Amino acid sequence: MEIISSVPELQRRSEQLRREGKHIAVVPTMGYLHAGHGSLMKLAKAEADVLITTIFVNPTQFGPGEDFERYPRDIDSDKKLASEAGTDILFTPIVAEMYPEGFQTFVEMGEVFSILEGKFRPTHFRGVATVVAKLCSITKPHVAVFGQKDAQQAFIIQQMVRDLNFDLRVVVAPIAREPDGLAMSSRNVYLSADERRRAASLFQSLQHAKKSILEGAKDVNALRTEMEQIILGIHPFGRSAQPSEIDYVAFVTPLGFQELNNLTGSSVYVLLAVRFSKTRLIDNMLIEIPNR
């Protein structure tokens, strides 16, 4: 596995690979890699001749007071997992390499930037879209692989690729989960033992929504209330336990990311964001709506 930290060096290397007729896949990450990242890399490797994995904790997608400084990092472990998952080139730039002095160009988008995650993290998607655009310019991939856990992010990247005519195919891979259903995330390491037990309620609430929808439920408000009750009531809180705080439970169309008040169409994305003390977790599920 090659390790490259320089933007110009990786651009030259990627251009060389393209001239050689190699098909390139990229998996952008912020590091602290886990099995979920590994599944993305393995999928990407199956799609291409050369896999580039990027590790960059992107400061522009963190808002004031968020966890940029304390975001978990372990580059030695990351190198090992990336290599085992089939990475051919590991890109590990520093902030000054990605955002040199005088940098002032950002990707902006419409309403989808300001709803759900964008409402609670107003500058987040501007930073995400910008860094993904930069990474694609640097790595010159034919295919880029992202995880479904960040469903709104994946939608925004797909929209950006279409709107700006990137010569690129975006693949969205299924969510990798722990045995109890919790979506794998680098931020799970922040959870206390009590919070980790209670976090299983996120997947349980999604499973409840799926079961209800398959049985014919249509009332979004009723489903949301039932999911919130599961999230807030899954654990008998003791004196030291802090109750979960729900940022949102939302039902949106997969193609337009428009929020639904009643379930229509053939499928729905159910998305949620929940805080456990200082740890904020997101999850989602794509559910088919029965034709009844």
Catalytic residue set:
37
Q: Which of the 8 DSSP states describes residue 273?
A: E
Structure tokens, 58: 């992107």
Alpha carbons 4 and 7: distance in angstroms, whole number = 8
| Residue type present at position 147 | G
DSSP string, 113-161: GTSTHHHHSTTHHHHHHHHHHHHHHHH--SEEEEEGGGHHHHHHHHHHH
- Pick from 283, 286, 277, 279: nearest CA to 116: 283
Q: Cβ(284)–Cβ(270) under 8 Å?
A: yes
| Residue type present at position 17 | L
Beta bridge partners of 54: 28, 91
Helix axes 7-19, 124-139, angle to 10 degrees: 50
Q: Cβ(6)–Cβ(97) under 8 Å?
A: yes
Q: Cβ(203)–Cβ(182) under 8 Å?
A: yes
Instruction: Determine how β-strand 143-147 pairs with β-strand 24-29.
Output: parallel
